[in-house]
Amino acid sequence: MNAVQSLPLDRERLEAVVREVLDQAQKAGASAAEAAVSCDNGLSVNVRLGEVETLEYHRDQGVGVTVYFGNRKGSASTSDLKSEALRETVEAAARIARYTAEDPCAGLADAALMAHDYPDLDLDHPWALEAEDAIVLARDCEAAAMQADARINNSEGSELSTFRGTAIYGNSHGFIGGYTGTRHSLSCTVVAEDEGGMQRDYWYSVARDRSALESPAEVGRHAAERTLRRLGARRLSTREAPILFAPELARGVIGHFVAAIRGGALYRKASFLLDALGEPIFPDFVRIHERPHLQGALGSAPFDGEGVRTGERDVVSNGVLQGYVLDSYSARKLGLVTTGNAGGVHNLLIEPGSVTGGTADQAGLLKEMGTGLLVTELIGHGVNTVTGDYSRGAAGYWVENGEFAYPVEEITVAGNLRDVFRRIVAVGSDVDARGNIQSGSLLVERMTIAGE
Amino acid sequence: MNQALDIARNHLLAPAGLAESDLDRVLGGLLGGAIDSGDLYLQLSRHESWSLEDGIVKDGGFNIEQGVGVRAISGEKTGFAYSDDILLPSLLEASKAARAIARHGETGGGRGLSVQLGHALYLPADPITALGEQAKIDLLHSVDAEARRQDPRVSQVMVSLSGLHEMVLVAGSDGTLAADVRPLVRLNVSVIVEHNGRRESGSAGGGGRSGYDFFLDHDRALGYAREAVRQALVNLEAVDAPAGSMTVVLGPGWPGVLLHEAIGHGLEGDFNRKGTSAFSGRIGERVAAPGVTVVDDGTLDGRRGSLNIDDEGVPTQRTVLIEDGVLRGYMQDKLNARLMGVSPTGNGRRESYAHLPLPRMTNTYMLAGTHDPQEIIASVDRGLYAVNFGGGQVDITSGKFVFSASEAYLIENGRITRPVKGATLIGNGPDVLTRVSMIGDDLKLDTGVGTCGKEGQSLPVGVGQPTLRVDGLTVGGTRA
């Protein structure tokens, strides 16, 4: 049933839904309105210990509408795209708008910013994958992990999933646009055991085009290596030390930076980077740029969640904050112009580099660090965007003279993010391209490790 | 009489012209060949939210979601499909897809459904329509005013109010026919305070399975406003937290998130069936100090984590997880219970019709001990007193867990002294409860704020505990 990943509703039908909703909003007396509709189709299989554990067919659709009566707004959404449900949804939004307050900053993004002509970003790469074939790939992936070493004696399974979806956005400026995209992923989680106990770790590959996925054997082997490396983990004594965040975690550290320069946090004065525009946040060598129009990238988008055209820009250059992450509402609250980030950032790339001018991969950065902690896992939510205070559970490897000494666990790493950002001494060339924020390993001069 | 079932029939079956006999027939068609069991989960939920900031109610939202999930099970294999139409052709199509898990064989006929009654822990009321819109707006404004009235250093107040009215109907191939109508309300207040260029935040809230009048009773909502401001002002004075292993006294109530992370997830049936939990195969062993008894109880009146029936139609129960320090049981859904040869415990829960059920917690808490909380604090020479927490997380295989304090104080010479900045606490689930050296007589449940995430599914849960002294938890501050 998944053979060509055909979507149950085509683009014309979804555009018609958006137009119908906008039309209903106008009839209900709204002075402005916007609507977004989506339809997704997917398949995921999980194979554990060689046997299929779950086979899931996904099919989701939904429409959301926001209506404005002058400066008052109301929103509603439904998964039912039939006309009667659409009318009821618009009515529900209009009913809410009767009770919300006048807010001078409320409204659509400015008409002049609409992305009336937008490029095709090569986001749609359907995969004609039958369930039987998906099972084979997941099984091969898990088998590669299980066969890697006798100490790998259990598994949470390997999962292959493939999704295809169309999203359409339109508003009463007359803008309507949309795109279809795919996302395929393969992951594997295994358990290894020795006399010291059990450890679990995972690996995954994700891409819009299946040909960019790592092979099942590679994903399985990576998962096995990562799990085995954790066996025999010890604790550390409490100390200050240099910290090297692995690329998949560096994404999160940069994510905290993004959270602090978001319009919503800024106008609420709930950010440790208030009024930081034009100020040095990172060392001189750091450049962070946003490239929304990269062909085929996971975070690419021709326009944002308000129909505003997206464009390439530097968020940080020479370590200095060049711009915030704004939608039109927060921009008006701050007396600024939207940066086309309603819904978030689109392909935020951190350039590799270092205080000393060179670039290095993770092995090079381990040498540069000498003695310190390579963090490969972080757990918990100990990040305060208001103050920048950061304290999270960690696991990884203690490194001596640039070499792995032993795995560590049950420790925390802590600091204030303002200090952490200033103390970044290198960004690795080992970039993890699996997300919307892409970074190499981040070497931080020092943070506090709490342990025994 | 089963009021919930009548309501579910009227809203889920009648509009589509479906009868229970149709569900039975679909189930019959689902079974056969290698498919040994299956179920249908029909759901209709209506959700609203209102939010206030800058002193005005800026936004409101309303969402309707409905659909049916079809599950077909063959041994350890599960096939799953769903549809957002509750109509016979969609049900048949979804069940055909779900059946693809096993090679097709002859399908059987209906087997007959019989009604499984649940508890009556909450009324099948609709919170959304029970209170007028203007009254909701007034409630938000009163909370805002109460927060601002507390202190001139309050610079921002954000209040959110949400209500859910959910109807579910479960029909299983084991003959189960059960329904539940579930109200759920939540109110949250976050404040920012500002003094001499320093900013700190505080938040408080609560809710449960009831109507919005819950927030008006005893001026509960105004209490949240005062509590959020109090926390934020404490944080304005906080100094850097210590780093290292030390004695930690945990306050009563919400700090029970310790139990949820440290042991709760590790006692869910799926991880134990698979042998991937640090608690696997340890029933009957000592995993906590004498005196420690922990239960998961889905049968508490009106609680956020309570359910009349779980999402597989099994009435919830009070399951003893740890009794006087000894591991007694796991939390089970039907699939894992069957595969482990035990009975389901009413812990089969799912986020929606579009998600598969998993063994999940309801309200997880530790029973009271005998110590006066003051006596517990007085017993500590140097340590941390942590009373409010943000979220937590656990690696169920290694057993390592964290939970992050948002309000904590130093204990010096048996007295609470300075407030310290929030810090993450980290420990090892299988041994943390063996380090519990004193248990307070002040058991409290949380105010109704918990949301638990597992495999991408979010669910409302409750936690609770008395004041506890734990000897040797690692505090992740910055002062080495």
Q: Identify the band that residue B34 occupies on the pLDDT scale cut at 50, 70 and 90.
A: confident
B59/A contact by beta carbon, under 8 A: yes
When CB atoms are compared, the residue of A88, A409, A416 closest to B400 is: A409
Question: DSSP character for A105?
Answer: T
Q: What integer pLDDT is reported at residue A413 of this predicted model? A: 98
B471/A contact by beta carbon, under 8 A: no
Q: What integer pLDDT is reported at residue B186 of this predicted model? A: 98
**Residue A323 domain-assigned (yes or no):** yes
B79/A contact by beta carbon, under 8 A: yes
Which of A43, A54, A61 is the best residue to mutate to test the B interface, defined by the most B CB atoms within 10 Å of its own CB? A54
Q: What angle do CA B370, B371, B372 make, to 5 degrees?
A: 125
Q: Identify the band that residue B1 occupies on the pLDDT scale cut at 50, 70 and 90.
A: very low
When CB atoms are compared, the residue of B56, B66, B192 closest to A268 is: B192
> Cβ–Cβ of A414/B474 closer than 8 Å?
no
**Residue A234 domain-assigned (yes or no):** no
Residues 6+ apart with CB under 8 A from A41: A2, A5, A6, A7, A8, A58, A59, A163, A164, A165
B354/A contact by beta carbon, under 8 A: yes
- Which pair of structure tokens corresponds to residue A157? 């399974």
Whole-number average pLDDT of chain B: 95
A392 neighbourhood in chain B, CB within 8 Å: 402, 424, 476
A59 neighbourhood in chain B, CB within 8 Å: 81-84
Q: What integer pLDDT is reported at residue A1 of this predicted model? A: 41
**Do A293 and A225 share a structural domain?**
no
Given a cut of 90, whether residue B109 has pLDDT beyond it is no
**Residue A101 domain-assigned (yes or no):** yes
Nearest to B388 by CA among B251, B271, B260, B266: B251
| Overall domain count for chain A | 2
> Cβ–Cβ of A79/B391 closer than 8 Å?
no
DSSP 3-state of A92: helix
Q: How far is B1 from chain A (nearest CA, A)?
A: 32
**Helix/strand/coil percentages in chain B, nearest 5:** 25, 40, 30
Q: What integer pLDDT is reported at residue A4 of this predicted model? A: 56
Residues paired with B332 in a beta bridge = none
Q: How far is A284 from chain B (nearest CA, A)?
A: 26
**Residue A164 domain-assigned (yes or no):** yes
> Cβ–Cβ of A411/B426 closer than 8 Å?
yes
Asked whether A79 and A17 are in contact (CB, 8 A), the reply is no
Q: How many CB pairs under 8 A join A and B?
A: 255
- Which pair of structure tokens corresponds to residue B27? 């189930």
A195, A229, A263 - which closes a domain: A229
**Do A140 and A274 share a structural domain?**
no
Gap between the Cα atoms of A406 and A399, Å rounded: 7
B82/A contact by beta carbon, under 8 A: yes
Given a cut of 70, whether residue B158 has pLDDT beyond it is yes
> From A51, which residue of chain B is nearest by alpha-carbon distance?
B77
Q: What integer pLDDT is reported at residue B103 of this predicted model? A: 63
B390 neighbourhood in chain A, CB within 8 Å: 381-382
Q: What integer pLDDT is reported at residue B391 of this predicted model? A: 86
A411 neighbourhood in chain B, CB within 8 Å: 426, 474, 476
B58 neighbourhood in chain A, CB within 8 Å: 73, 100-101, 103, 106
B427/A contact by beta carbon, under 8 A: yes
When CB atoms are compared, the residue of A54, A102, A238 closest to B80 is: A54
A189, A208, A229 - which closes a domain: A229
Residues paired with B172 in a beta bridge = B39
> Cβ–Cβ of A270/B156 closer than 8 Å?
yes
Given a cut of 80, whether residue B66 has pLDDT beyond it is yes
Q: What integer pLDDT is reported at residue B367 of this predicted model? A: 98
> Cβ–Cβ of B84/A79 closer than 8 Å?
yes
pLDDT in tens, B316-344: 999 999 999 999 999 999 999 999 999 99
When CB atoms are compared, the residue of A76, A156, A451 closest to B62 is: A76
**Do A155 and A299 share a structural domain?**
no
**Helix/strand/coil percentages in chain A, nearest 5:** 25, 40, 35
> Cβ–Cβ of B60/A412 closer than 8 Å?
no
B421/A contact by beta carbon, under 8 A: yes
Q: Would you say the ipTM is above 0.85?
A: yes
Phi, psi of A290 (to 5 degrees): -110, 130
Q: Identify the band that residue B100 occupies on the pLDDT scale cut at 50, 70 and 90.
A: confident
**Do A13 and A155 share a structural domain?**
yes
When CB atoms are compared, the residue of A78, A198, A412 closest to B64 is: A78
Gap between the Cα atoms of A230 and A189, Å rounded: 13
Q: What angle do CA B65, B70, B76 make, to 5 degrees?
A: 135
Give the number of other Cβ atoms within 10 Å of residue B147's Cβ.
28
Gap between the Cα atoms of B367 and B299, Å rounded: 15
**Do A143 and A28 share a structural domain?**
yes
> Cβ–Cβ of A100/B398 closer than 8 Å?
no
**Do A160 and A62 share a structural domain?**
yes
**Do A394 and A266 share a structural domain?**
yes
* Residues 263-302 (B) with a CB less than 8 A from some CB of A: 274-276, 278
pLDDT in tens, B358-398: 999 999 999 999 999 999 999 999 999 999 999 899 999 99
> Cβ–Cβ of B241/A240 closer than 8 Å?
no
Give strand ranges (E) for B16-102.
37-53, 56-74, 77-83
* Residues 313-342 (B) with a CB less than 8 A from some CB of A: none
Q: What integer pLDDT is reported at residue B422 of this predicted model? A: 85
pLDDT in tens, B120-136: 999 998 999 999 999 99
**Do A333 and A253 share a structural domain?**
yes
Instruction: Give the CATH number, domain containing residue A209.
Output: 3.30.2290.10
Could you tell me the residue range of the domain that residue A117 belongs to? 4-229
Sign of dihedral through CA atoms A425, A430, A433, A434? negative
Give pLDDT tens digits along chain A (452 positions): 444 578 888 899 999 999 999 999 999 999 999 999 999 999 999 999 999 999 999 999 999 999 999 999 999 999 999 999 999 999 999 999 999 999 999 999 999 999 999 999 999 999 999 999 999 999 999 999 999 999 999 999 999 999 999 999 999 999 999 999 999 999 999 999 999 999 999 999 999 999 999 999 999 999 999 999 999 999 999 999 999 999 999 999 999 999 999 999 999 999 999 999 999 999 999 999 999 999 999 999 999 999 999 999 999 999 999 999 999 999 999 999 999 999 999 999 999 999 999 999 999 999 999 999 999 999 999 999 999 999 999 999 999 999 999 999 999 999 999 999 999 999 999 999 999 999 999 999 999 999 99
Asked whether B450 and B461 are in contact (CB, 8 A), the reply is yes
When CB atoms are compared, the residue of A95, A156, A393 closest to B400 is: A393
Which of A43, A90, A100, A413 is the best residue to mutate to test the B interface, defined by the most B CB atoms within 10 Å of its own CB? A100
Average pLDDT of B175-192?
A: 97
Q: How far is A406 from chain B (nearest CA, A)?
A: 16
Which of A185, A379, A392 is the best residue to mutate to test the B interface, defined by the most B CB atoms within 10 Å of its own CB? A379
B65 neighbourhood in chain A, CB within 8 Å: 78-79
Gap between the Cα atoms of B225 and B191, Å rounded: 8
pLDDT in tens, B448-458: 999 999 999 99
A168, A200, A229 - which closes a domain: A229
pTM of the model: 0.96
**Do A257 and A160 share a structural domain?**
no
Q: How far is A50 from chain B (nearest CA, A)?
A: 12
Asked whether B34 and B74 are in contact (CB, 8 A), the reply is yes
CA distances from A153 to A48, A191, B281 (A): 12, 6, 16
Given a cut of 70, whether residue B346 has pLDDT beyond it is yes
When CB atoms are compared, the residue of B200, B390, B402 closest to A387 is: B200
**Do A153 and A14 share a structural domain?**
yes
Half-sphere exposure of B90 (CA within 13 A, CB side): 16
**Do A222 and A250 share a structural domain?**
no
Q: How far is B103 from chain A (nearest CA, A)?
A: 11
**Do A265 and A218 share a structural domain?**
no
B83/A contact by beta carbon, under 8 A: yes
B135/A contact by beta carbon, under 8 A: no
**Residue A374 domain-assigned (yes or no):** yes
**Residue A264 domain-assigned (yes or no):** yes
Average pLDDT of B245-252?
A: 98
Q: Identify the band that residue B112 occupies on the pLDDT scale cut at 50, 70 and 90.
A: confident
> Cβ–Cβ of B201/A381 closer than 8 Å?
no
When CB atoms are compared, the residue of A92, A101, A379 closest to B395 is: A379
